Amino acid sequence: EAREKSKNYFNFKHRTVNEEAKDVEVYSQPIPFAEKEYLYSIIHEKHKIK
């Protein structure tokens, strides 16, 4: 999705090993290395503020 839409930030639901859905935010950036392009991503779980 990040490459297709030229976005570097997006939200989605991540499914854990225990089948639990978690809201996460993702920051991604393509990085050229050794004549290839890799997608570097930082993923944060969103927490509800009480």
Model-wide pTM > 0.85: no
Q: What is the pLDDT of residue 36?
A: 95
Is the residue at 15 inside a domain? yes
What is the tens place of the pLDDT at every residue in 1-46?
545 556 789 998 999 999 999 999 999 999 999 999 999 999 999 8
Instruction: Determine, yes or no, domain membership for 17.
Output: yes
**Predicted local distance difference test score (pLDDT) of residue 3:** 54
Task: Report pLDDT for 49.
Answer: 60
50 domain-assigned: no
Give the separation between CA 22 and CA 30, rounded to whole angstroms: 25
Number of structural domains (the chain) is 1
What is the pLDDT at residue 18?
94
Residue 19 is part of which domain span? 2-45
Query: How many angstroms separate the CA atoms of 21 and 9, rounded?
Result: 19
Rg (CA), the chain: 13
- How would DSSP label each residue in the chain? -HHHHT-SEEEEEEE-TTS-EEEEEEEEEEEEETTEEEEEEEEEE-----
Provide the pLDDT for residue 48: 66
